[in-house]
Structure 1
Amino acid sequence: MASVTLTINGQKAIVPSGITVLEAAEMCGYSVPTFCHEKDLTAPGACRICVVEIKGWRNLPPSCVTTVAEGMEVETESPAVIEARKTILELLVANHPLDCMTCEKSGNCKLQDYAYRYGVSSPTPYEGEKKQFAVDDSNPYIYRDSNKCILCGKCVSTCKAVADRSIIDYAFRGFNTKIATFMDTDLKDSSCVYCNRCVAICPVGALTDRNMMGKGRIWEYEKDEVTCTFCDSGCKFDVNYKNGEVIGVTAKNPSAGRPLCLKGRLGTEFIKNPDRTDLPLVNKNGEFIPVSWEEALGIAPIVEKINTLKCRKERELKCLST
């Protein structure tokens, strides 16, 4: 594979040709802030928070859509870059609801993290009008507050490219621009299947999983990676626990692979079912009867042997018939 040599923050690096400056910086261990960029999705280069300074360039290009070149000299935290990022954050904060203390995304919000990183607080020099969109709480799966949306477009990209749907897109113009369904209806009136991929990929509190609202903060959860067994797709996700109780599930990789279906995300409710049995069930005379694990494990090899003999017999009959 061809490679190029460049300098990032004074550090010489040899990276594969064709990758972006953002990827090269991450390979060298530098953290470049991003809003609209997500691995496995097309980078729109819209939010501009990932700008860097490149020697000889007149502007500050977005690193997520700028390809590396031989001899390139990049600064990811120069005074000009920091000033540009701080200005972008101040403009976002100026129109953003500052209810971080009660926001469900607190502790897992990129806007909150970057505002802390670059020392942005309210009021900002650009303090202006707050958006007054109606909150969409019409369905039991997704709580949608467009007033907190920063228009990064990641939900649109993942719905269109990965979930193979186009339920949402940009609507209206200027200050009133928002992410909306066709004709700006509620999600319950659209063809949304509630895979919740848009929720998992949202960097702020605009989209929230209603199943987990009010049950805890991100830092209070313990996580276990599991594989869903509702079908043969084998989706991987994290089961979130708090004080030993299952709170909900979150996608392991929200930007790639299959979305979590409703069964996969809501199947944890079966754990709280009072009729749930911890014993295996065996079909006896057409009725499933709870038996001990010893009996069930003793039956399993017999069933496997019967199935093996049955398949062998079917193969022999097929050979005789031909």
Structure 2
Amino acid sequence: MAKGIMYIDGQRVPFDGEKNVLAVIRKAGIDMPTFCYYSELSVYGACRMCVVEDEKGKIDASCSMEPRDGMVIRTNTARLLKHRRMILELMLSSHCRDCTTCEKSGNCRLQDLALRFGVRHVRFQDTRPVYEKDHSSPAIVRDPNKCILCGDCVRVCEEMQGMSILNFAHRGSDLVVCPAFDRKLSETNCISCGQCAAACPTGAITIRDEIGKAWRELYDPKKRVVFQIAPAVRVAVGEAFGLEPGVNAIDKLVSALKMMGADEVYDTNFGADLTVMEESEEFLERLKKGGPFPMFTSCCPAWVKYVEEERPHFLKNISTCKSPMEMFAAVLKDQYAKKDAEDGRTTYHIAIMPCTAKKMEAKRPEFRHDGKPDVDLVLTTQEIITMIKESGIRFAELEGESPEMPFGMGTGAAVIFGTTGGVAEAVARRVVEDKSRNTLQAIQFSGIRGSETIRAVTLPVGDRALRIAVVHGLVNAQKLLDDIEAGREYFDLVEVMTCKTGCVGGAGQPYGLNPIKRQRAEGLYEADRTALIKRSERNPMVQRLLEGPIKGRTHELLHVHYQHPDKA
């Protein structure tokens, strides 16, 4: 990797391994504007906002320049300022400018940069046609009228998820980003992961907003509104209110929800412990019967959707366990049926999730009973943040309140579900025969944790050495599947998370790059370290449920069998 000294705006800046001049500029403390640069993707170099001027007056995009020892550049000259203002004006001229009512208002990079560079007047007429919005997806909304053609969504879908649902179509002034043949998202194999919405700098792709539905139910006296809070939400929600990433704010979130009108607030960790119990039993049963292997985890709905659409021959390998959200919801609706009949109210269940694909999962027919969904509504972390702000609640100043019993108790094994490797580690804690503290530490340091996109570990269970794989980022899962199919790899258990870093990096979370996601993951590991109970089988509330109210009905309530849509 290159090393040396650059001179940026007269400042002497050392560099060591930075992949481009843009990274060195930001290292120097300069906020260089960009639209199409996303550090976790390939360099595209289309927006030209990051241009710099060298000592000879040559202008070039810093994102596509390699740093060289002795290089002298300026980031802020009269020419560059004029250049950037012109780019912004041209973008705005072909951009829907209903900014005050846009879903991204206040969080739009085009809006921010237009304000920063003083673009107050647009001299050019918009000659582009008005495109129809695409509301067909259960998770995201696409509005081509707000697209600035940065290509971030195209590269995220291809490079991070390996799906290539979106691409550029047509040429010149007719250029547009859309699915092949201009189809609706619902007509494609989109898995609703939402990473395109997370990367989009404008309102061209946004998360489906269902805040209005939530408020209507909270205001309805005939409804008992019950929330569940996913593990990853607690370590990200506080970021919008001045707390550091990774701070566990679940108690503050419970208080906020109660102030907003929630009747009861529970913890999805309870559902995660149920998942560990059922998934580990299924895994042990497969070990006895000799397969089918590998057994894939089923917590991630985008992953399940991918297998259904693209690799249906692997459906037999996916665990029959419902996700923690759906397990919890099925139990809740089952246990509250009598309560609803007695007091004449209807339980309305809202799940707060880090993931846009959970919106899709909640609408699946498999998760309905008597024609009604087990999860009535899914709100992302971003949506609940908006609701808290709408309520005027000073979140950071709130006194905490714990989730309610009996569904408010979760173990350390449950809380780490929110990060890559957490599900596999929780199951490993359950199936290993030696339950000593040393064994739990050995699992922790086996390599099951980490940021590598594909990790493989071997753990002893009885007289057998289990091969376990952990993979995050769907494009990496595809590579692993190819190796398994080709016989190059063998595993007994594989955990798959569609989003990189797992649920802490879900598209419904506040925007953050890998360092922030790692802080969130560390917050979950800290919650595990301080948890009084480390293993799911030690959760007394889960044991009481399994041995009491749902005994003999666990398969009906907690399991599901997926099949290819054409055969459904």
Q: TM-score surpassing 0.5?
A: yes
Which amino acid is 1:116 matched to? Answer: L
Would the aligned equivalents of 2:137 and 2:192 in 1 still touch at CA under 8 Å? no
Q: Distance in 2 between matches of 1:111 and 1:168?
A: 21
Q: Distance in 1 between matches of 2:76 and 2:507?
A: 43
Would the aligned equivalents of 2:7 and 2:13 in 1 still touch at CA under 8 Å? yes
DSSP 3-state at the match of 1:87:
helix
Give how far 1:239 is off: 3.2
Give how far 1:19 is off: 2.6
State the partner residue of 2:200. 202
Relative to structure 2, which stretch is displaced further, 124-133 or 154-163?
124-133
Give the TM-score taking structure 2 as reference length.
0.42
State the partner residue of 1:41. 41
Would the aligned equivalents of 1:281 and 1:289 in 2 still touch at CA under 8 Å? no
Summarize the alignment of residues 26-65 of structure 1 with structure 2, pairs less than 5 Å apart: 26-58=26-58, 60-65=59-64
Q: Distance in 1 between matches of 2:545 and 2:107?
A: 50
Q: Distance in 2 between matches of 1:212 and 1:284?
A: 32
Within the candidate set 223, 234, 243, 2:388 is matched to 243
DSSP 3-state at the match of 1:61:
strand
Q: Distance in 2 between matches of 1:284 and 1:175?
A: 61
Which amino acid is 1:68 matched to? Answer: P
State the partner residue of 1:319. none
Give how far 1:117 is off: 0.7
Change (3 A) 1:2 1:203: closer
Q: Distance in 2 between matches of 1:284 and 1:84?
A: 65
Give how far 1:285 is off: 8.1
Change (3 A) 1:182 1:284: closer
Within the candidate set 153, 156, 159, 1:158 is matched to 156
Q: Distance in 1 between matches of 2:56 and 2:508?
A: 56
DSSP 3-state at the match of 1:35:
coil
Summarize the alignment of residues 271-310 of structure 1 with structure 2, pairs less than 5 Å apart: 280-282=541-543, 287-288=548-549
Which amino acid is 2:203 matched to? Answer: G
Q: Distance in 2 between matches of 1:2 and 1:88?
A: 32
Give how far 1:61 is off: 0.5
Give the TM-score taking structure 1 as reference length.
0.72
Which amino acid is 2:22 matched to? Answer: L
Which amino acid is 1:149 matched to? Answer: C
Summarize the alignment of residues 1-322 of structure 1 with structure 2, pairs less than 5 Å apart: 2-16=2-16, 19-58=19-58, 60-122=59-121, 124-212=122-210, 222=241, 225=246, 237=354, 239-240=381-382, 241=385, 242-243=387-388, 258=473, 259-260=498-499, 280-282=541-543, 287-288=548-549
Unaligned runs of 5+ in 1: 246-250, 269-278, 291-322
Q: Distance in 1 between matches of 2:545 and 2:30?
A: 62
Change (3 A) 1:142 1:213: farther
Q: Distance in 2 between matches of 1:42 and 1:204?
A: 20
Would the aligned equivalents of 2:99 and 2:105 in 1 still touch at CA under 8 Å? yes
Q: CA RMSD in A?
A: 3.9
Change (3 A) 1:125 1:185: same
Unaligned runs of 5+ in 2: 216-236, 249-267, 276-296, 301-352, 355-379, 392-417, 420-452, 454-471, 474-497, 510-539, 552-568
Give how far 1:219 is off: 12
Give how far 1:81 is off: 0.8
Q: Distance in 2 between matches of 1:152 and 1:267?
A: 21
DSSP 3-state at the match of 2:543:
strand
Give how far 1:129 is off: 2.0
Give how far 1:211 is off: 3.9
- Fraction of identical pairs, as percent: 33
Give how far 1:32 is off: 0.4
Would the aligned equivalents of 1:89 and 1:111 in 2 still touch at CA under 8 Å? yes
Change (3 A) 1:282 1:219: closer
Give how far 1:141 is off: 1.1
Which amino acid is 1:145 matched to? Answer: D
Taking CA–CA contacts closer than 8 Å with sequence separation of 6 or more, which of the two structures ends up with the larger relative contact order? 2
Higher helix share: 2
State the partner residue of 1:293. none
Change (3 A) 1:110 1:212: farther
Change (3 A) 1:157 1:2: closer
Q: Deviations over 1:175-206 (max 9, x none)?
A: 22111112110000000000000011100000
Would the aligned equivalents of 1:107 and 1:219 in 2 still touch at CA under 8 Å? no
Change (3 A) 1:282 1:211: farther
Q: Distance in 2 between matches of 1:102 and 1:202?
A: 17
Give how far 1:220 is off: 11
Change (3 A) 1:285 1:148: closer
Change (3 A) 1:284 1:243: closer
> Number of residue pairs matched?
268
DSSP 3-state at the match of 1:5:
strand
Give how far 1:286 is off: 5.2
Would the aligned equivalents of 1:22 and 1:32 in 2 still touch at CA under 8 Å? yes
State the partner residue of 2:252. none
Q: Distance in 2 between matches of 1:65 and 1:3?
A: 17
Give how far 1:68 is off: 1.0
Q: Deviations over 1:261-296 (max 9, x none)?
A: 9x967999xxxxxxxxxx823257854469xxxxxx
Which amino acid is 1:166 matched to? Answer: S
Would the aligned equivalents of 1:17 and 1:68 in 2 still touch at CA under 8 Å? no
Q: Distance in 2 between matches of 1:267 and 1:131?
A: 31
Q: Distance in 1 between matches of 2:208 and 2:299?
A: 25
Q: Deviations over 1:93-113 (max 9, x none)?
A: 111111110000011101001
State the partner residue of 1:304. none
Would the aligned equivalents of 1:52 and 1:63 in 2 still touch at CA under 8 Å? yes
Change (3 A) 1:182 1:128: closer
DSSP 3-state at the match of 1:6:
strand
Change (3 A) 1:55 1:280: same
Would the aligned equivalents of 2:138 and 2:192 in 1 still touch at CA under 8 Å? no
DSSP 3-state at the match of 1:86:
helix
Would the aligned equivalents of 1:142 and 1:210 in 2 still touch at CA under 8 Å? yes
Q: Distance in 1 between matches of 2:508 and 2:65?
A: 43
Q: Distance in 1 between matches of 2:48 and 2:33?
A: 9
Q: Distance in 1 between matches of 2:153 and 2:388?
A: 32
Give how far 1:3 is off: 1.3
